[in-house]
Chain A
Amino acid sequence: EVQLLESGGGLVQPGGSLRLSCAASGFTFSTYAMSWVRQAPGKGLEWVSATSSSAGSTYYADSVKGRFTISRDNSKNTLYLQMNSLRAEDTAVYYCARRLWLEGGPFDIWGQGTMVTVSS
Chain B
Amino acid sequence: ERVMTQSPATLSVSPGERATLSCRASQSVSSNLAWYQQKPGQAPRLLIYGASTRATGIPARFSGSGSATEFTLTISSLQSEDFAVYYCQQDNNWPLTFGGGTKVEI
Q: Is the CB of B89 within 8 A of A106?
A: yes
Are the CB atoms of B95 and A111 closer together than 8 Å? Answer: no
Stretch at the interface among A20-28, A41-49, A71-79, A81-89: A41-49
Where chain A touches its partner, the secondary structure class is strand
A104 within 8 A of B: yes
User: Does the CB pair B89–A45 fall under 8 Å?
Assistant: yes
A55 to chain B, nearest CB (A): 17
Residues of B within 8 A of A107 (CB): 34, 36, 44, 46, 89
Please state if A50 and B101 are interface contacts (CB–CB under 8 Å).
no
B25 to chain A, nearest CB (A): 15
B71 CB–A CB distance under 8 Å: no
**Known contacts A44-B101, A45-B89; is-contact A110 B95 (Cβ 8 Å):** no
Indicate if the CB atoms of B98 and A110 lie closer than 8 Å: no
A95 to B101, CA, bound (A): 17
* Contact yes or no, A108 B43, CB < 8 A: no
Q: Which of B34, B43, B46, B99 is packed against the most chain A CB atoms within 10 Å?
A: B43
A contact residues around B101 at 8 Å (CB): 44-45
Chain B, residues 15-40, CB within 8 Å of chain A (1/0): the string is: 00000000000000000001010100
Contact with A along B85-101 (1 / 0, CB 8 A): 00101010011111111
10 contacts between A and B (CB under 8 A): A45-B87, A45-B101, A47-B95, A59-B95, A104-B91, A106-B34, A106-B89, A107-B44, A107-B46, A108-B56
Chain A residues proximal to chain B, CB less than 8 Å: 35, 37, 44-47, 50, 59-62, 95, 99-100, 104-108, 110-113
